[in-house]
Amino acid sequence: MEGSGDEESEAEGPLQQLVKRQRREKRELQAKIQGMKNVVPKNDKKRRKQLADEVAKLEAELEKKHKEELKQLKESSPEQNKEKKAALEKEREERIAEAEIENLTGARHLESQKLASLLAARHLEIKQIPSDGHCMYRAIEDQLKDHHNSCTVAALRNQTAKYMQSHLDDFLPFLTNPSTGDMYSREEFEKYCDDIANTAAWGGQLELRALSHILQTPIEVVQMDSPPIIVGEEYSGKPIVLVYMRHAYGLGEHYNSVKLLTDTATENGS
pLDDT digits (tens, 9 = 90+) for 64-94: 998 988 888 777 765 556 666 677 777 877 7
Nearest-CA neighbor of 87 among 29, 28, 22, 27?
Answer: 22
The vertex-252 CA angle with 60 and 113, nearest 5°, equals 120
Report CA-CA distances (Å) from 43 to 96, 200, 254: 34, 15, 13
Please classify residue 255 by burial: count the beta carbons closer than 10 Å to its beta carbon, then call 0-12 exposed, 13-18 middle and 19+ buried.
buried
Higher pLDDT, 141 or 266: 141
266 pLDDT tier (thresholds 50, 70, 90) = very low
* 132 in catalytic set: yes
Confidence of residue 4 (pLDDT cuts 50, 70, 90): very low
Query: Is 135 annotated in the active site?
Result: yes
Per the CB < 8 A criterion, the answer to whether 254 and 131 are in contact is yes
Encode pLDDT of 22-79 as tens digits. 899 888 888 888 888 788 787 888 888 888 888 888 889 989 998 988 888 777 765 5
Average pLDDT over the chain, rounded to an integer: 82
Q: Thinking of the domain 108-267, which architecture would CATH place it in?
A: Alpha-Beta Complex (3.90)
User: Which of residues 227 and 157 earns the better pLDDT score?
Assistant: 157
Q: Which of 44, 66, 132, 146 is catalytic?
A: 132
- How many whole angstroms separate alpha carbon 73 and alpha carbon 80? 9
Cα dist from 55 to 10, 26, 77, 124, whole Å: 34, 12, 33, 35
| Higher pLDDT, residue 232 or 40 | 232
Confidence class of residue 192 from pLDDT cuts 50, 70 and 90? very high
User: Catalytic pick from 44, 134, 135, 263?
Assistant: 135
pLDDT at 265 over 50: no
Asked if pLDDT for residue 194 goes beyond 80, the answer is yes
Type of residue at 159: Q
The pLDDT of residue 2: 44
Q: What average pLDDT does this structure show over 253-264?
A: 82
The residues, any chain, with a CB within 8 Å of residue 20's CB and separated by 6 or more, are 12
For the chain, report the end-to-end CA distance as a whole number of angstroms. 62
pLDDT > 70: what percent of the chain? 81
Out of 12-21, 23-32, 133-142, which region has the weakest mean confidence (pLDDT)?
12-21
Which entry of 142, 193, 213, 254 is annotated as an active-site residue? 254
Does the pLDDT of residue 176 top 50, yes or no?
A: yes
Please say if the pLDDT value at position 13 is more than 90: no
Provide the residue ranges of all domains of the chain, joining segments of one domain with +.
Answer: 2-105, 108-267
Helix boundaries (H) for 2-44: 2-11, 14-38
